[in-house]
């Protein structure tokens, strides 16, 4: 990988976060503090997840799909939901509306996730000469992850911060939130059990993230309407 390619991939991985912040009203309402706090909560959540993974799971001897282990991973994945709940409900905010609050939290969360999971491999790959498509796919995954996290934050905002929700939409909101929370396990299942290749998995992630974003947006708009 050349330095040029490294900069391209870093741009692809972290650029959308910056574009989202500057394009939306977040930049006008000075929500950077909230994003930083959300990132800190993400790091703490990641540490807790790491300890749980090391304690409760055993290292697989082969690369097969173990339903019990995957179920444990799903439960450990819900720690992310707990972390998001903490970030959305417990952090103190200065006169930020709910619309901007969940966006700031989701953005900080996704940015911290990309930094933690993708910056180190990108840097290590930059030091070699070998070209591989892996880092481009990693950048695309970061984009899908950003959309997923924002969708989950939106649904979380509906579940925990909005009181007057239409009664008929509550089950749909919870079902979509559950689906978004289990998305890492779904991609793991596709990759290991169905043996999908990386381009196919990344395509599925992008497509499903757009679909979930659309559904979340519709739900959020429906809840915005006065009863």
List C-alpha distances in Å: 25 to 32, 60, 82, 103, 119: 12, 46, 27, 10, 27
Q: Which of 8, 98, 185, 198 binds other proteins (CB under 8 A)?
A: 8
Position 128 contacts other proteins (CB under 8 A):
yes
Residues 131-190 close enough to bind other proteins by CB under 8 A: 131-132, 136
Residues 23-42 close enough to bind other proteins by CB under 8 A: 23-25
Position 199 contacts other proteins (CB under 8 A):
no
Nearer to other proteins, 22 or 218 (CB): 22
CA 18 to chain centre: 16
Distance in Å from the first CA to the final CA of the chain: 56
Position 12 contacts other proteins (CB under 8 A):
yes
**DSSP conformational letter for 58:** P
Nearer to other proteins, 2 or 218 (CB): 2
Nearer to other proteins, 83 or 145 (CB): 145
Chain position carrying tokens 């169905």? 194
Nearest-angstrom CA–CA distance, 218 and 216: 5
Position 22 contacts other proteins (CB under 8 A):
yes
Q: Which of 58, 62, 95, 129 binds other proteins (CB under 8 A)?
A: 129
Is residue 8 packed enough to be buried (19+ CB in 10 Å), middle (13-18) or exposed (0-12)? middle
**DSSP conformational letter for 162:** -
Residues forming contacts to other proteins in the complex (CB under 8 A) are 1-2, 4-5, 8, 11-12, 15-16, 19-20, 22-25, 124, 127-132, 136
């Amino acid at each position: 990988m050349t330095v040029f390619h490294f900069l391209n991939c870093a741009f692809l991985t972290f650029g959308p976060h910056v574009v989202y912040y500057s394009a939306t009203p977040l930049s006008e309402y000075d929500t950077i503090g909230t994003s930083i706090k959300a990132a800190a909560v993400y790091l703490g959540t990641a540490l807790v997840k790491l300890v749980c993974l090391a304690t409760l799971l055993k290292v697989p001897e082969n690369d097969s799909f173990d339903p019990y282990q995957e179920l444990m991973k799903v439960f450990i994945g819900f720690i992310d939901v707990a972390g998001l709940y903490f970030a959305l409900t417990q952090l103190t905010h200065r006169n930020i509306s709910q619309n901007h609050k969940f966006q700031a939290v989701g953005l900080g969360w996704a940015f911290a996730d990309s930094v933690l999971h993708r910056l180190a491999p990108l840097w290590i790959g930059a030091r070699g000469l070998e070209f591989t498509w892996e880092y481009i796919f990693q950048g695309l995954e970061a984009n899908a992850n950003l959309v997923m996290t924002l969708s989950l934050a939106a649904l979380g905002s509906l579940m925990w911060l909005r009181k007057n929700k239409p009664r008929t939409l509550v089950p749909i909101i919870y079902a979509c939130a559950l689906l978004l929370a289990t998305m890492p396990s779904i991609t793991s299942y596709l990759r290991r059990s169905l043996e999908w290749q990386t381009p196919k998995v990344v395509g599925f992630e992008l497509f499903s993230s757009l679909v979930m974003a659309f559904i979340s947006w519709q739900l959020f708009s429906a809840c915005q309407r006065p009863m």
